[in-house]
Amino acid sequence: MTVATAKRHNVQRHFSTCHKSHNASYPPSSALRTEKARELKAALGKQQSLFTKPVEKSQQTTEASFRATHFLITNKKTFSDGEVFKEAMMIIAKTVFKDEKNGTDVISTLSNVQLGASTTVRRVTAMSENLTEQLEQDVATCKWFSIQCDESVDCSSSAQLMVFIRMVFDDFSTKEELLTLLPLQTTTRGVDIYNAVKSFLVEKKVPLEKLVSMTTDGAPAMIGRHAGSIAHCKGDTDFPTFLHYHCIIHQQAICSKVTGFEHVMTPVVKIINSIRSKAKQHRIFKVLLEELSAEYGDLLLHTEIRWLSRRRVLQHFYFSLLCEIKEFIQSKGDDISLLEDTEWIPDLAFLTDITGKLNHLNCELQGKGKTVADMISAVNAFKAKMNIFSVHLQKKRVLHFPSVQSVLNDNASASETFDKVVDKYSEVINRLGQEFENRFHDFDQLEPCVSFISNPFVQVEIACIAEQLSATFSLNAGEVEIEIITLQNDLHLKAHQSEPNFWCLVDTEKYKGVCTAAMKVASMFCSTYLCESAFSDMNFIKSKHRTRLTDSHLHDSVRVAVSSYTPDYSKLVTSMQCQVSH
């Protein structure tokens, strides 16, 4: 019998009518009555568990499916790899748990995990939407943000525009995240990039008034004075006044081209290609290296687009495999006079050293979470090193050029040659340093602001720095000047100036202008490293074996693969009807 309405008098009437003997058998407040109530609750629990346990088990297998899919996609695996992964898992389970007490249950549970190709696609889409929701919440709550964007072509010749965002929050914490991956269906002109970005920002209701800066590569479609996407954005009244920077890593790569020395690199690449371009010669050369117990088992290829490989190519060529290369070339009857030229060998050594220093700078500029201060510091340090190197070379000291030093130690005649070419090397160093000075003038203008934010208690011309901050970040110069004076005389803040989270201790209402400048600096990108890195992931995901991958599935896969957010698995599981695998 059921009670229509759970009111007190209804329940009491039901009890006195249908359970007359209950009070006599189980007196109120007695231990017997308490035990009976416990038994009835336990029976009800068992009855309910008959239905809840399968549901819970189904939810667990669905969550396992989401977690496994996330693992596969972050490792850039295909959708169909889920089935292979599950089959391998089942083989392991049947082998390991076949004699265990609960082995059958374990194997049965694993077999219910949904990892089919179509299921994996739905899981990736669901996780991408969940990660997008988390991003949109952060974009709405952040104080300021900057974006970096770059365009590339995937393996099916579709143009893809990658956009990353860096957000700063009230506690001065920052997040870097993929904002979107936009396909450009036809042309990739500046107006096309502008329209794609503007449409996305409007559609997603991104607060444009919080935009601080945009960082791009140096392509005309990006930074063209009249037709570039940046020019279109700056001419759009919906966009605020924002800063724009050409990727510092790209600029460094352009600066490196002034070193020249094609008379060294061209023959080296030609010799390497002559060995590696023909399969038979390549096999014979590797056998020769093995017979001679060479330090390395093969030569490295070099291409212009992968210019970071230059230093390793040169180092392997001269300092590890030169004798083997000469012997191999002689065995074919070719001329090796260049490889024994006492004027060419020092040039090879110098180019090896200088490319090594450029590579080291490039690696310092790469990576996630790099701040403006980190990048400006690295570039300034390199320019200072160039000055020192030039002074040393003029004094005929090669302390910072180990490859040149090695050549001079091994070859007495090379010392005479070095005396003749030392001025040429010094000129290359000076030219490289001057190119850095010319290229990075936009960062030189930003440097005083970044330096002050990094150390607000340094002695500066207050009026001057206040004008620079106000001009750079659209602030009131008078208010900023007063805030700087007050800040530098705040004894409490002075006592905590060395703490890494210093700006979290500053009252954002009292020092509104200075804190705004600090937040904007914290939000800024100086390179397109995240875009370049994500393009590598994109090309791995959409390879020549997956050319039919749609733009939407590519976007979802890239987001799941590169996102710093963790999918909300509980929310994902509860939002769908859980079913076991077929």
Confidence of residue 414 (pLDDT cuts 50, 70, 90): low
Q: Are 558 and 538 in contact (CB under 8 A)?
A: yes
- The answer on pLDDT for 24 being more than 80 is no
Tens digit of each residue's pLDDT (9 = 90 or more) over 137-147 = 999 999 999 99
Mean pLDDT across 391-398:
84
- Name the 3-class secondary structure at 360: helix
Tens digit of each residue's pLDDT (9 = 90 or more) over 525-535 = 989 999 999 99
Of 410-414, 469-473, 561-565, the least confident? 410-414
**pLDDT over 90 percentage in the chain:** 42
Return d(Cα 161, Cα 155) in angstroms, integer: 14
Q: Are residues 275 and 392 in the same domain?
A: yes
Q: Are residues 407 and 491 in the same domain?
A: no
Of 188-197, 285-294, 321-330, 451-460, the least confident? 285-294
Quote the pLDDT of residue 407: 78
Cα 53 to Cα 97, 107, 338, distances in angstroms: 22, 17, 79
Q: How far is CA 235 from the centre of its chain?
A: 30
Neighbouring CB atoms inside 10 A of 319's CB total: 16
- The answer on pLDDT for 370 being more than 60 is yes
Q: Are residues 476 and 427 in the same domain?
A: no
Q: Is residue 284 part of a domain?
A: yes
Return d(Cα 256, Cα 233) in angstroms, integer: 31
Cα 321 to Cα 272, 290, 333, 359, 573, distances in angstroms: 11, 12, 19, 21, 58
Greatest mean pLDDT range, 95-104, 404-413, 548-557: 548-557
Element (H, E) at 85: helix 81-96
- What predicted TM-score, i.e. pTM, was given to this entire model? 0.83
Name the pairing type of β-strands 243-246 and 211-216. parallel
Taken in order 363, 162, 189, 207, the sign of the CA dihedral is negative
- The answer on pLDDT for 13 being more than 70 is yes
Q: Are residues 390 and 493 in the same domain?
A: no
Greatest mean pLDDT range, 29-38, 364-373, 406-415, 557-566: 557-566
Q: Which of 501, 523, 545 is the last residue of a domain?
A: 523
Greatest mean pLDDT range, 105-109, 271-275, 310-314: 105-109
- Among candidates 562, 575, 579, 574, which has minimal Cα distance to 74? 562
448 vs 48, higher pLDDT:
448
Q: Are 356 and 401 in contact (CB under 8 A)?
A: no
- The answer on pLDDT for 204 being more than 60 is yes
Q: Are residues 489 and 408 in the same domain?
A: no
Q: Are residues 485 and 345 in the same domain?
A: no
Return d(Cα 389, Cα 93) in angstroms, integer: 63
Q: Is residue 87 part of a domain?
A: no
Mean pLDDT across 488-517:
90
Sort residue 289 into left (φ over 0), alpha (ψ -120 to 50) or beta: alpha
Q: Are residues 414 and 292 in the same domain?
A: yes
Return d(Cα 54, Cα 480) in angstroms, integer: 64
Cα 160 to Cα 22, 151, 340, 547, distances in angstroms: 76, 6, 48, 14
Neighbouring CB atoms inside 10 A of 320's CB total: 15
- Among candidates 467, 463, 429, 475, which has minimal Cα distance to 445? 467
Q: Is residue 134 part of a domain?
A: no
Q: Is residue 434 part of a domain?
A: yes
Residues paired with 147 in a beta bridge: 165, 214
Confidence of residue 78 (pLDDT cuts 50, 70, 90): very high
Residues paired with 180 in a beta bridge: 163
Lookup: tokens for 196: 């794609």
Q: How many domains does the chain have?
A: 2
- Among candidates 533, 578, 532, 553, which has minimal Cα distance to 127? 553
Tens digit of each residue's pLDDT (9 = 90 or more) over 417-426 = 667 778 888 8
Q: Is residue 464 part of a domain?
A: yes
Residues paired with 150 in a beta bridge: 162
Residues paired with 182 in a beta bridge: 161
Q: Which of 439, 464, 481 is the last residue of a domain?
A: 439
The 3-class secondary structure across 520-546, one letter per residue, is: HHHHCCCCCHHHHHHHHHHHHHCCCCC
Mean pLDDT across 218-241:
91
Domain hosting 388: range is 255-439
Cα 152 to Cα 178, 504, 534, distances in angstroms: 15, 39, 11
Q: Are residues 305 and 352 in the same domain?
A: yes
Q: Are residues 305 and 423 in the same domain?
A: yes
- The answer on pLDDT for 309 being more than 90 is no
Beta-carbon contacts of residue 220 (< 8 Å; ≥ 6 apart): 190, 227, 228
337 vs 123, higher pLDDT:
123
Q: Which of 384, 406, 439 is the last residue of a domain?
A: 439
- Among candidates 396, 522, 395, 366, which has minimal Cα distance to 454? 522
Q: Is residue 307 part of a domain?
A: yes
Return d(Cα 491, Cα 193) in angstroms, integer: 50
Quote the pLDDT of residue 298: 60
Confidence of residue 305 (pLDDT cuts 50, 70, 90): very low
- The answer on pLDDT for 321 being more than 80 is no
Q: Are residues 378 and 409 in the same domain?
A: yes
Greatest mean pLDDT range, 40-44, 52-56, 155-159: 155-159
Neighbouring CB atoms inside 10 A of 91's CB total: 10
Q: Are residues 380 and 509 in the same domain?
A: no
Quote the pLDDT of residue 294: 55
Mean pLDDT across 550-560:
94
Q: Is residue 113 part of a domain?
A: no
Q: Are residues 511 and 390 in the same domain?
A: no
Neighbouring CB atoms inside 10 A of 111's CB total: 15
Q: Are 310 and 355 in contact (CB under 8 A)?
A: yes
- Among candidates 556, 569, 551, 567, which has minimal Cα distance to 131? 567
Q: Are 58 and 64 in contact (CB under 8 A)?
A: no
Q: Is residue 471 part of a domain?
A: yes
DSSP 316: I
